[in-house]
Amino acid sequence: MRAAGRAVRARLRDRIAASDPGLLRLTAGLRTVGAIALTLAVLSLLGADVHLLVAGAMAAMVATFAIREKQLAAQAVTLALGLPVALASVSLGAVLNSRLVIGDAFFVVLIFCAVYGRRFGDRGTALGLIGFQVYFLSLFVGATVATLPALCGAMALAFCSSALMRFAVVPATPTGVLLRMRLAFRARLAQLVSAQLELLDAPADEMDKALEAVREGTARLHETAMMIQDRLEEGTPDESAARLVQRRIADAEIAAERLGLLLLTARSAERADTLTLHLPGAPAPSLAGPAVPDETGATLRRDLQALHALVLRAGSGDTGTGLAHVRNRLLGYRDEENLPPASAAVQDVFRGIGESARAVLGLRIALDGPQDESDDTPATARSREELDAEDAAIDGGEEAAPEEQTGLRRPTTRAAVQVAVGSSLAIVGGELLSTQRWYWAVLTCWIVFLNTASTGEILVKGYRRLLGTVFGVVAGIVLAGLVGKHTWTAFALVLVLIFAMFYSAPLSYTLMSFFVTAMLGLLYTLLHTYSLDVLVLRIEETALGAACGVVAAALVLPVRTDRRTNELLGTVLERLAEVTEAAVGQLSGGPAVELLDKARDLDQALADLRAATQPLIHPVTPLRTRRHTARYVVALLETCAYHARTLAATAELLPTHPSIAADPRLRGAAGRTVRNIETIAVRVADEHPGAQVETGPSIASLLGSDAGTPRYGRITDRVLRHLERLDEAVVGLARPLGVPVVAPKG
Average pLDDT value for residue range 139-145: 90
Contact (Cβ atoms closer than 8 angstroms) between residue 251 and residue 359: yes
The number of helix segments (H) and strand segments (E) in the chain equals 27, 2
- For residue 421, the model assigns a pLDDT of 94
- Cα 323 to chain centroid distance, Å, stands at 33
Contact (Cβ atoms closer than 8 angstroms) between residue 360 and residue 383: no
- Angle, alpha carbons 301-356-210 (nearest 5°): 50
Best CA proximity match to 167, nearest among 178, 155, 159: 159
**Residue 60 clears pLDDT 50, i.e. is over it:** yes
Average pLDDT value for residue range 423-433: 92
- For residue 56, the model assigns a pLDDT of 94
Length reported for the chain: 746
Average pLDDT value for residue range 204-229: 90
Q: Using CA atoms, how far apart are residues 258 and 243, in angstroms rounded to an integer?
A: 22
- For residue 478, the model assigns a pLDDT of 86
**Residue 705 clears pLDDT 50, i.e. is over it:** no
**DSSP helix, strand, coil percent of the chain (3-state; round to 5):** 75, 0, 25
Q: Out of 190-194, 216-220, 528-532, pick the least confident.
A: 528-532
Neighbouring residues of 100: CB distance < 8 A, sequence distance ≥ 6:
none
Return the C-alpha torsion angle 510, 514, 516, 517, nearest 10. Answer: 130
Best CA proximity match to 631, nearest among 645, 613, 647: 613
Average pLDDT value for residue range 501-511: 88
- For residue 543, the model assigns a pLDDT of 92
Residue 259 burial by Cβ neighbours in a 10 Å radius (0-12, 13-18, 19+): buried
Q: Out of 183-187, 281-285, 362-366, 708-712, pick the least confident.
A: 708-712
Average pLDDT value for residue range 66-80: 93
> Where is pLDDT greater, at 277 or 63?
63
**Residue 509 clears pLDDT 90, i.e. is over it:** no
Residue 481's CB: how many other CB atoms inside 10 A?
Answer: 11
Q: Using CA atoms, how far apart are residues 208 and 199, in angstroms rounded to an integer?
A: 9
Indicate the angle between helix axes 455-483 and 509-526, nearest 10 degrees.
40
Q: Using CA atoms, how far apart are residues 457 and 224, in angstroms rounded to an integer?
A: 24
DSSP for residue 694: E
Q: Using CA atoms, how far apart are residues 214 and 192, in angstroms rounded to an integer?
A: 6
Best CA proximity match to 586, nearest among 675, 664, 698: 664
Reported confidence tier of residue 401, pLDDT bands at 50, 70, 90: very low
Reported confidence tier of residue 284, pLDDT bands at 50, 70, 90: confident
Q: Using CA atoms, how far apart are residues 324 and 375, in angstroms rounded to an integer?
A: 6
Neighbouring residues of 594: CB distance < 8 A, sequence distance ≥ 6:
397, 399
Long-range contacts of 315-321 (CB under 8 A, 24+ apart): 315/182, 315/183, 315/186, 315/364, 315/367, 315/368, 316/10, 317/368, 319/371, 319/372, 321/375
Instruction: Supply the pTM of this predicted model.
Output: 0.86
> Where is pLDDT greater, at 160 or 667?
160
- For residue 693, the model assigns a pLDDT of 83
Q: Using CA atoms, how far apart are residues 585 and 97, in angstroms rounded to an integer?
A: 65
Q: Using CA atoms, how far apart are residues 521 and 530, in angstroms rounded to an integer?
A: 7
Q: Out of 2-6, 315-319, 480-484, 648-652, pick the least confident.
A: 315-319
Best CA proximity match to 621, nearest among 452, 456, 449: 456
What does residue 296 show for φ and ψ, rounded to 5 degrees?
Answer: -65, -35
**Residue 402 clears pLDDT 50, i.e. is over it:** no
Helix (H/G/I), strand (E/B), else coil: 741? strand
- For residue 375, the model assigns a pLDDT of 67
Neighbouring residues of 510: CB distance < 8 A, sequence distance ≥ 6:
464, 465, 467, 468
Return the C-alpha torsion angle 371, 376, 382, 387, nearest 10. Answer: -10
What is the sign, positive or negative, of the torsion defined by CA atoms of 91, 97, 102, 105? positive
Angstrom CA distances, 550 to 416, 440, 524, 555, 560, stand at: 14, 16, 28, 9, 11
pLDDT one-digit tens code per residue, 21-41: 988 899 999 999 999 999 999
DSSP for residue 285: P
Q: Using CA atoms, how far apart are residues 730 and 735, in angstroms rounded to an integer?
A: 9
Q: Using CA atoms, how far apart are residues 222 and 424, in angstroms rounded to an integer?
A: 42
Average pLDDT value for residue range 393-402: 50
Q: Out of 203-217, 350-364, 371-385, 473-487, pick the least confident.
A: 371-385
Reported confidence tier of residue 394, pLDDT bands at 50, 70, 90: low
Q: Using CA atoms, how far apart are residues 356 and 535, in angstroms rounded to an integer?
A: 55
Reported confidence tier of residue 348, pLDDT bands at 50, 70, 90: confident
Residues of the chain with pLDDT > 90: what percent?
A: 34
Contact (Cβ atoms closer than 8 angstroms) between residue 517 and residue 473: yes
Q: Using CA atoms, how far apart are residues 104 and 439, in angstroms rounded to an integer?
A: 10
Most confident of 261-270, 401-410, 479-488, 569-578: 569-578
The DSSP bridge pattern shows strands 741-742 and 693-694 to be parallel
Reported confidence tier of residue 719, pLDDT bands at 50, 70, 90: confident
- For residue 716, the model assigns a pLDDT of 66
Best CA proximity match to 520, nearest among 550, 479, 558: 479
**Residue 168 clears pLDDT 60, i.e. is over it:** yes
- For residue 655, the model assigns a pLDDT of 63
Best CA proximity match to 502, nearest among 35, 25, 17, 21: 25
**Residue 194 clears pLDDT 90, i.e. is over it:** yes
- For residue 273, the model assigns a pLDDT of 79
Q: Using CA atoms, how far apart are residues 220 and 21, in angstroms rounded to an integer?
A: 10
**Residue 708 clears pLDDT 50, i.e. is over it:** no
Best CA proximity match to 647, nearest among 679, 669, 614, 616: 669
Average pLDDT value for residue range 291-303: 76
Best CA proximity match to 91, nearest among 159, 42, 44, 137: 137
Average pLDDT value for residue range 498-524: 88
Q: What average pLDDT is seen over the chain?
A: 84
β-sheet bridge partners, residue 742: 694
> Where is pLDDT greater, at 107 or 686?
107
Give the type of residue at 452: T
- For residue 396, the model assigns a pLDDT of 47
- For residue 399, the model assigns a pLDDT of 47
Greatest Cα pair distance, the chain, in angstroms, is 94
Residue 153 burial by Cβ neighbours in a 10 Å radius (0-12, 13-18, 19+): middle
Residue 417 burial by Cβ neighbours in a 10 Å radius (0-12, 13-18, 19+): middle
What does residue 188 show for φ and ψ, rounded to 5 degrees?
Answer: -70, -30
> Where is pLDDT greater, at 294 or 188?
188
- For residue 709, the model assigns a pLDDT of 40
